[in-house]
Amino acid sequence: MNLKKLTTLFAAVTISCFSFSTAFADFAYGDRGEEIVEIQKQLAVLHYNVGTVDGIFGPATEKAVKEFQAAKGLTVDGVVNDGTYRNLMNKEMPPDRYGNHAMTRTILRTAYSMLGVPYMFGGMSPGGFDCSGFVCYVFRQAGISLPRMADTQYDAVTHVNTSSLRSGDLVFFQTYAPGASHVGIYVGDGKFIHASSSKGITVSEVFTGYWGARYLGAGRVYN
């Protein structure tokens, strides 16, 4: 959404995205990536059924983790924390992948948990989101305050080259007006998660198709 076009609508909505939660480093339901692949592989070696080794911490992986935890006398919560990771992988938790991997996990976990939530003009809660409201909400859960609108978010970030994009960065698009009028969260592999006016919270390609033709740039919120 573009601030200049919607000043009147949001004049009464003065809610800032204040931070209130702390990021966490555990691997849990909704996480994805190469580290999840390694966890799944090790569980499979130990004869726990993770379903497909696909790098997605879904129901089957969570169930396998719980079974492993029960067998080892650990707290059975389906979360791979330091203790569970050490017992499973026989090593310590991996070092930061991106300089702040806990923050990235928190952001992506929250974002993916909102898949399918409908688009709502002006929305910034799980009842419905617009594009910048979704970004603002997700980052708020990780303890980061962002401006409310896409164009002011664009002005607030540290701009990065496309070749330097990493998961958790913001990607911006120019749609109905000059400047940033749409925003989403980069998740890797050329994809981003965002609030689509036609599909709600969904994952789309950044650099091809409709969005590729309207790509404006990317920005980093945290290091």
Task: Just list the catalytic residues.
Answer: 131, 182, 194
**188 within 8 A of 98, measured Cβ to Cβ:** no
Burial (Cβ within 10 Å: 0-12, 13-18, ≥19) of residue 95: exposed
Task: With residue 128 as reference, give the H or E element that holds it.
Answer: strand 128-129
Q: Give one DSSP letter per residue of 165-202, joined into a string.
A: --TT-EEEE--SSSS--EEEEEEETTEEEEEETTTEEE
Largest distance between two CA atoms of the chain = 59
